[in-house]
Chains A and B, each alone.
Chain A
Amino acid sequence: MEKFFTDPVAIEELEKMGDVETLAVPITLEALRDKCAGDSGLLMLVDDVESRAFRYTQAVIETQLSLRRGDLDRENMSRVDVRNRDAVQRRAHDVYIDSVKILARNLARHGKDTNWFNKFCPDAERAHDTYRPEFARFGLIITYREVLREIKAVKAEKS
């Protein structure tokens, strides 16, 4: 499991970094869509990344809520229950990471720039799976940014 900001000291650390719109990511969804402009197949793969990042974010939130509601008491849960609970989030994470890799592979096949993907995995010798926290950050940040974009759009519509 990734290390999450759950204690006040860690939350302060993130506050110092600014809000979710200013956190650094290897690439934004908008920039990915720009790279794929005019190719509906590639654009569908970007949509896949977005929807799977959303699903992964949902799984993370569900876990965090369960922990806070006290219905995920790891100390007193059976090992099977803990494993099953973790498996939901892990599977969502795996599926989302796969969607990012598939997109990068297809962009490379079309001769498009994939330097952004190397920023996830700067050490080619290390297996991609060791970069799970970096992928997690990206998925969560792009999801929250999309949510904020939707909120802004609704506000603009109302005003």
Chain B
Amino acid sequence: MDQEEKNRLTLRYAELAVKRDRTSEDEAEMKNLETKLQMSPRDIINLAARLTIPSSN
């Protein structure tokens, strides 16, 4: 998997993680993304933060 695909899947995971009304399908997709990315939820959220938090300078 190239970095761009990894970033895209990470953002999709984050999109689901910040949903307040997650369905069981959403939860299943998140599990599937964790497997695809081979990363822990914590690492995925940290990568999502890196992709979205604006630079402070």
Among A56-76, those with CB < 8 Å from B are 57-58, 60-62, 64-65, 68-69
Q: Known: A5-B55, A8-B3, A65-B11. Contact between A151 and B20, CB under 8 A?
A: no
For the complex formed, measure the closest distance between the CB of A46 and the CB atoms of chain B, giving whole angstroms: 16
Interface SS majority for chain A: helix
Instruction: How many A-B residue pairs have C-beta atoms within 8 angstroms? Tell me.
Output: 91
B25 within 8 A of A: no
A4 to B51, CA, bound (A): 7
A121 to B3, CA, bound (A): 36
- Once the chains bind, are A3 and B54 in contact (CB under 8 Å)? yes
A5 to B52, CA, bound (A): 6
Which residue of A is nearest B20, CB measured?
A54
Interface SS majority for chain B: helix
On chain B, the number of residues with a Cβ less than 8 Å from chain A's Cβ atoms is 25
- Once the chains bind, are B15 and A62 in contact (CB under 8 Å)? yes
- Once the chains bind, are A4 and B45 in contact (CB under 8 Å)? no
- Once the chains bind, are A5 and B53 in contact (CB under 8 Å)? yes
Q: Known: A4-B53, A5-B51, A140-B53. Contact between A61 and B42, CB under 8 A?
A: no
12 A-B pairs in the complex with CB atoms less than 8 angstroms apart: A3-B55, A6-B51, A10-B55, A20-B45, A57-B18, A61-B14, A61-B15, A68-B4, A140-B54, A141-B53, A144-B49, A151-B45
Which residues on B are within 8 Å of A, measured CB to CB? 3-4, 7-8, 11-12, 14-15, 17-20, 41-42, 45-46, 48-56
